[in-house]
Structure 1
Amino acid sequence: MKVVLPVAGKGTRLRPHTHTKAKSLVHVAGKTVLEHIIERLQAIDVEEFIFITDENGQQVANFMQSKFPELKCSYLVQKERLGPAHAVALAAPQVSEGDDLLVVFNDTIFVTDLAKIPKLCEDADGLIYSKEVEDYQRFGVNVMRDGYIVDMVEKPDTPISRLAQVGLYYMKDGAGFIRAIEKTIEAGETVKGEYYLPSVFMRMIGEGAKFKAPEIDDWLDCGKPETLLETNRFLLKGRHHIHGEAVNCVLIEPVHIERGAIVRNSIIGPNVSVAAGSRIENSVISNSIINAENKVSNLILEESLLGDSVTLVGSPRRMNIGDHSLIEMDQ
């Protein structure tokens, strides 16, 4: 099997954190989003990881070489912003007849057993992984009949289906899938000038292909700050790891402090991850992600996301307050 990972998006919803780095290299729960995804792909036998990158492609390549040097990777650049289907089509030179293909978009960390793919796809041509959601109006959904997808509707007004597509796709015939994308591009089937995969899948269904929509166990969105913090809370659950230095601190589980981080005279947690090289003093931090090489002192932080090499310094207050006083202060 070959895996296509389109990582060329600009990550505008995560700015300013994506101004200087690829969105797949943003940290959550002590690891980059990409590292979480690659670890989940270890359950299957992957012949090659095909990355579709932008100008930040060298960052991704350097990260993969550092963290996963044993994996075979190739890198192709999407020079024009023509949509996700166009990005996947760029993998064509790496996909041969007989290759099966898994496409993984990197806004999402998925929780599912990929080892079940052969059994799930015994009587189908592909799998469009899905998750049942309440707010179906926000997503593209799969419409099912007798266990197979018969239609795909983008942001439906009525609950024709609650099975949202999660950005994880498996195709038995990888080369045939690429050809279907190329036909869609040749036909000019765009939405607001970009090519999307549902048009490709509906073309294939029209030609007789059968797709199932297995549900994943959990769908962890990493596309914007508030959902990244939610994902941080989910991934830290049951993981209380102190690899760095914590001196005279109160740690409220779960907390993840990486080796090389120093925390002193502070209350940390719950749901806080602190990356290597950071130094925190005299602070109270909860439900936050503190990335690498930060300096934080004399502050109360909650629901916060700090990028790399941030210096954030508050000031202690001195007070002389009499009886029966009421003091209300903003930070």
Structure 2
Amino acid sequence: MQAVILAAGEGKRLRPLTHTMPKAMVPVANRPILEHIIRALEKNGIREIIVVVGYKKEHVIRHLNTLDIPVRVVVQERQLGTAHALACAAPLITGDFLLLPGDNYVDTASIARIMREKNAVLTWEHPHPSNFGVLVIRDGLVREVIEKPQDAPGFTVSTGIFSLDPSFLQYLDETEIPDAVNRMIRAGTPLKAVAAADWQDAVYPWDLLKLNAALLRDVRPERAGRSGPGVVIRGRVSIGKGTTIGPNTTILGPAIIGDDCDIGANCVITSETSVGARARVEPFTMIGQSVLLDDVSIGSHSRIVEAVVGTGSHLGDHATTFPTKTIFSIEREMIGAKFGAIIGDHICSAPFCIFRNCIVGNDVVIDDGKTIYGEVPDGAKLL
């Protein structure tokens, strides 16, 4: 069986993290979302995989070339919708296939369920269905997909993961996959609804925290680094090659720390935390329920909780993230969310800064002692 993964989109609602990389390449549990999908397919014996790339395609292609599984790449030169993206891959499709978005997580068991069905969609019960395609289902069959309705008729949504036969390709003159699916249903082809075992979508940047926690449940314990005296490691913890853990530091799993990191003395890293490669955490710092991307540095005596910190960012000594609930405007939608901070790439903050439920753009410079809240645009200087 073939699988087609659509990884051409930008992921505008995930900004500032997707200014420099496509959504499918955002690291969660220290691997791009796209790689987690490919591994789940591989575990189900699917090795004929086609990936459609577009926005920042070089990032995706470069990473795919590092994998130990062959992947065929198709380029969508202009982002003209998901149906067009699949049409770009149509010449390579030779039989029944799975269709998956490249920016959602799905577990191995869910893929096994839908593989057994012909013309089916994986479904999920979601508390906020209006962000997705809502399914109208009767007698186990999908009657209609209602894309992002203001008043959803139910809580069952499409995961965007389908098992299809090649006849579906005749409906791809539509802009988006849900429109093509509705045309197929109206033409008389039944579409089965199959409940997923586990599925996660990061619609907004703070959703990465929940997705990270879900993926860390399966982290493989590994001790490749060096630990100083008095270090306590409990639970499922993976420590990468070349990493040093300073004396009297405590790490509680599930957690993952990448290669060549320097974790200082007397630090605490709690569960549901991912630390990317070459990160530096200075002494007496606590990090919990957070995602630190590659090359991040956190100053001493800091407390970073419920935060995403982008590539190459530096937070000075005594930095604090403060989780509270705020309403944000994302793509002209008013969205309420509770988290500590979403911090973009290559920001630099001086000591004693407080990040209070904020979204900080890329390349921001922050003077000492500032309290940051709300949204800070790319390139801002808070002096």
TM-score normalized by structure 1?
0.82
Q: Does the alignment pair 1:245 with 2:236?
A: no
TM-fit CA distance, 1:274:
0.8
Of structures 1 and 2, the one with the larger relative CO (CA 8 A, separation 6+) is 1
The answer as to 2:278 corresponding to 1:277 is: yes
1:116 to 113, 117, 120: 113
Task: Give the match's secondary structure for 2:73.
Answer: strand
C-alpha offsets along residues 302-331 of structure 1, whole Å, 9 cap, x if unaligned?
12212222222225999xxxxxxxxxx979
Q: CA deviation at 1:157?
A: 5.8
Give the letter aligned to residue 37 of structure 2: I
- 1:104 is displaced (CA, Å) by 0.8
Is the alpha carbon distance of 1:93 and 1:308 closer, same or farther for their aligned partners in structure 2, counting shifts above 3 Å? same
**Whole-Å separation in 2 of the counterparts to 1:151 and 1:315:** 53
Corresponding residue SS for 1:113: helix
Cα distance change of structure 1 residues 196 and 280 upon mapping to structure 2, 3 Å threshold: same
- Name the structure with the higher strand share: 2
Do the aligned partners of residues 157 and 24 (structure 1) sit closer, same or farther apart at CA in structure 2, a change above 3 Å counting? closer
Contact 1:128/1:214 (8 A) holds in 2? yes
* Superposed CA offset, 1:200-239 (max 9, x none): 1121112221111101112212232210011112222374
**What whole-Å deviation, never above 9, does each CA across 1:75-120 have from its counterpart, x for those lacking one?**
2222222211111111122123xx111111023101233233454x
Partner of 1:321: none
Following superposition, the deviation at residue 20 of structure 1 comes to 1.8
Task: Kindly state the Cα deviation for residue 158 of structure 1 after the two structures are TM-superposed.
Answer: 5.6
Tell me the equivalent position of 1:201: 181
Report the counterpart of residue 94 of structure 1 in structure 2.
92
**What TM-score, normalized to structure 2?**
0.72
In 1, distance between residues paired with 2:217 and 2:282? 25
| Alignment RMSD | 2.4
State the one-letter code of the partner of 2:310: G
Distance 2:201 2:47 in 1: 27
1:270-300 deviation per Cα after TM superposition (whole angstroms, max 9, x unaligned):
3211112111112221111111122221222
**Separation in 1 of the partners of 2:275 and 2:213?**
13
Aligned to 1:163: 156
2: CA distance between counterparts of 1:305 and 1:180? 40
Q: Does 1:63 align with 2:63?
A: yes
User: Of Structure 1 and Structure 2, which has the larger fraction of its residues in helix?
Assistant: 1
Structure 2: tracts of 5 or more residues without a match: 220-235, 320-350, 353-369, 373-383
How far does residue 196 in structure 1 lie from its aligned partner after superposition? 1.6
Shift of residue 128, structure 1, vs aligned partner: 1.1
- Looking at structure 1, the residues matched to 185 and 18 of structure 2 have their Cα atoms a distance apart, in angstroms, of 37
Q: How many residues align?
A: 300
Distance in 2 of aligned mates of 1:27 and 1:118: 27
Question: What is the 5 A alignment of 1:35-184?
Answer: 35-68=35-68, 70-71=69-70, 73-96=71-94, 99-111=95-107, 112-119=109-116, 121=117, 125-156=118-149, 160-171=153-164, 173-174=165-166, 176-182=167-173, 184=174
Of the three residues 203, 206, 212, the one matched with 1:223 is 203
Q: Give the 3 Å change call, closer, same or farther, for CA 19–234 of structure 1 in structure 2.
A: same
Kept in 2, the 8 Å contact 1:43–1:115? The answer is no
- Which structure has the bigger radius of gyration? 1
Q: Is the deviation greater in 156-165 or in 53-62?
A: 156-165
1: distance between equivalents of 2:161 and 2:218? 26
